[in-house]
Chain A
Amino acid sequence: MYIKQISVFLENTKGTLHEMMQLLGEHQINILAISLADTSGFGIVRLVVKSDDIDKALKVLADAGDMARVNDVVGIRVPHQPLGLATVLGQLDAADISIEYAYSFCRNTSDDAVIILRVNDAVKCAEVLQAKQVPLVAQADVDKF
């Protein structure tokens, strides 16, 4: 039901993101979605890759001395049009689910937009979305992108 997200700690120095992307690319790992959170002191890169690439990516990152971890995030499919995402967020808001962060896929196989949500309560969020018939995007769906 969820999407597996890889988060990687990034030191706040020049070129670290490039280095990481270069490294993953050299190992033939394609990034399906990416978001970079930066603070004044450090950064966190969040990535979504195909299922087959998850363990490989973790190993490549660990070998390079990077701190990485995997966690579940919610994927939703929303109409690619004005208010497409806003409608869903309104529903989540009404259900008291707060969004920690959100980002979208670089591309996917449908005309809809696919948004990744990190929420405070993923289980409740999925329930709300299912009740509202918002299409969820799981890791298995991501593999077909």
Chain B
Amino acid sequence: MAIKDKIYNPEMECMSREELTKLQGERLAKTVKLVYDNVPTYRERMDAKGVKPEDITCLADIVKLPFTEKTDLRDQFPFGLLASPKEKIVRIQGSSGTTGKPIVSGYTEGDVEVWTEMVARALSAAGCTNEDIVQVCYGYGLFTGGLGAHQGATRLGAMTIPMSSGNTQRQIMMMNELGSTILMCTPSYAAYLGESIREAGLVPGKDIKLKAGVFGAEPWTEEMRKQIEELLGIDAMDIYGLTEIGGPGVAFECFNKHGMHVNEDHVIAEIIDPITEQQLPYGTPGELVFTTITKEGQPMLRYRTHDICTLYNDPCPCGRTHVRMGRITGRTDDMLVIRGVNVFPSQIEGVLVGIEGVAPHYVLVVDRVNHTDTLEVKVELTEEMFSDTVSHIEKIQKKITEQIKSVVGIMAKVTLVPPKSIPRSEGKAKRIIDNRKL
């Protein structure tokens, strides 16, 4: 472990859960009053549910509140969800969106300040101090990546290089000449940079002085982390954020690299069942929902990300008390309801990854036989699983079946298929075949 994780704001980041719950409740109540008084959309929705601001007095009351969706941001574009007068707004950030209207978010001075600190916390956890040289290769502009990273690095007093995205040769030249020590970009670009550096004949550790990278804005895997760490000779840390909630820094990894601490003094993270919309306990995968509790410009009540992940509240050795979110493992659109049970492909993947010798290459086939849903999990055979004896292979098959049963609660039929017979694809792999005719 090369990096020195430093807790930027111990008072907030290491607050006892009891105090934090109290603080969250107070801030939630304040936020609810703010939006009820200033944002017609929230007021109408709360009225429709028969909820008044005074009904929200503590954290547990959050379940009384209505949800917000991305479509609300589009429908209310550009200023319909502002809770502060326009003259208080000092910044607009947004995302272009691939179809139709973009979404934007307005920030007050206070919002920019909070956002800046959230990124500073993430960078500090990656060992960044005023002695560091931070190369930011996120795009600068409406996209929150560039400016967000820039503000956080500047806050720590680091020498910040606003390279923005693209022009790899120039990125490498500056990294080499200026001696950048911390890299901020997307994980895929970090891997690309690593390969380009090697192709250029430069040696990480000698010509390249990077020691850590804080990577986000797209989903990535442990496999990619290992690849990036090896290519660049650095610690690769994950950072999470979304424009709707405030940009990068909503959650970030500490040196333990086992999930990202959510900045809970500024946002409340919930996991819900996407169908029943009920809150789920820690450790259970479901849809990630965020509520901002310090935002003034454009607060969000129970914003549904439609991202699937798990929150963990077991104590972290780093000393931070804020819950950790695991990697985003899918979208709610991928969720299957089998015999009334919600099944996420990521749960199955987790089981497969957890069994030694088993590779996470799988396809789920759902069908309905005699009015009963069936789940078949096709798993690719690996060298380690294969043997000349039936009993050895069946033992692993049984282990997979049992663990799926214990994690998902469903008895699946595990079928072994030849190696490399399941198509690999970048990003969205076709992992589900639903043959049910409903």
Contacts and interface: CB of A to CB of B under 8 A. Distances in A.
A9 B420 contact: no
Given A42-B415, A42-B416, A71-B388, 7 more contacts: A7-B387, A9-B381, A9-B418, A42-B393, A44-B390, A65-B420, A67-B381
B389 A67 contact: no
Contacts of B394: 39
B383 interface: yes
A77 interface: no
Interface of A: 5, 7, 9, 11, 37, 39, 41-42, 44, 46, 65-67, 69, 71, 100-101, 118
Contacts of B387: 7, 69
A44 B418 contact: no
A44 B419 contact: no
Interface string B379-421: 0010100111111011001000000000000000011111111
A44 B387 CA distance: 9
5 contacts: A7-B388, A9-B418, A41-B397, A67-B383, A118-B388
Could you say which of B386, B388, B394 has the most chain A C-beta atoms within 10 Å of its C-beta? Answer: B388
Interface of B: 381, 383, 386-391, 393-394, 397, 414-421
B388 A41 contact: no
Given A44-B388, A100-B389, A101-B389, A67 B397 contact: no
Contacts of B390: 37, 39, 44
B421 A65 contact: yes
Contacts of B418: 9, 11, 65-67
Contacts of B381: 9, 67
A122 to B, nearest CB: 12
A5 B388 contact: yes
B416 A41 contact: yes
Contacts of A66: 418
Nearest to B420: A65
A109 to B, nearest CB: 26
A46 B390 CA distance: 11
Contacts of A46: 388
Contact of A100 (B391, B393, B397, B416): B391
Nearest to B397: A41
B420 A41 contact: no
B415 A9 contact: no
A33 to B, nearest CB: 13
A67 B387 CA distance: 10
What 4 pairs between A and B have smallest CB-CB spacing? A7-B388, A67-B386, A37-B390, A42-B416
A5 B417 CA distance: 22
Contacts of B388: 5, 7, 44, 46, 69, 71, 118
A108 B229 CA distance: 58
A4 B391 CA distance: 20
B421 to A, nearest CB: 7
A46 B421 CA distance: 21
Contact of A118 (B383, B389, B415, B421): B389
A36 to B, nearest CB: 11
A120 B420 CA distance: 31
A9 B416 CA distance: 10
Contact of B419 (A37, A67, A69, A100): A67
B386 to A, nearest CB: 5
Contacts of B386: 7, 9, 67, 69
A90 to B, nearest CB: 23
Nearest to A5: B388
A67 B421 CA distance: 11
A118 B420 CA distance: 29
A9 B391 CA distance: 14
B419 A65 contact: yes
Contacts of B391: 100
A69 B392 CA distance: 14
Contacts of B414: 41
